[in-house]
Amino acid sequence: MHSTVVCRIVGAAVLGLVSHTFAVELSADEASASIMKNSYRFQQDGWTYVHLEGTPAEIGYQHGYLLAPEIADNLAARKLSDTYYFQRG
């Protein structure tokens, strides 16, 4: 009897977390669209330009979102450089 009650409580808690996760994802998508509304990027003469607007937190989010490929490429290059420099694998 005791294990059945515990299983029901744990099951309800997990179900609550899963439902909360889906609710957060929906609102995160809506928030992301709102944050990105006035930002954009373009390339000209070999340079990448970004236009950012908003609060410092919104600007940081826009910067990371718009430049994510360049940030990932830079991180990979840095890891390779550090591996060679520090002789670690």
Read off the pLDDT of residues 36-80 as tens digits, 9 standing for 90 and up: 999 999 999 999 999 999 999 999 999 999 999 999 999 999 998
Number of domains in the chain: 2
The answer to whether 41 touches 33, Cβ cutoff 8 Å, is no
The answer to whether 66 touches 54, Cβ cutoff 8 Å, is no
Q: Are residues 30 and 46 in the same domain?
A: no
Q: Are residues 42 and 6 in the same domain?
A: no
Q: Are residues 73 and 84 in the same domain?
A: yes
Residue in 69, 70, 61 with CA at minimum distance from that of residue 39: 61
Q: From start to end of the chain, where are the E strands?
A: 40-44, 47-51
Q: Are residues 47 and 73 in the same domain?
A: yes
Prediction pTM value? 0.59
Q: Find the domain containing 85 and state its range.
A: 38-89
Q: Are residues 26 and 51 in the same domain?
A: no
Q: Are residues 55 and 83 in the same domain?
A: yes
Strand partners, 42: 49
Distance CA 74, CA 81 (A): 10
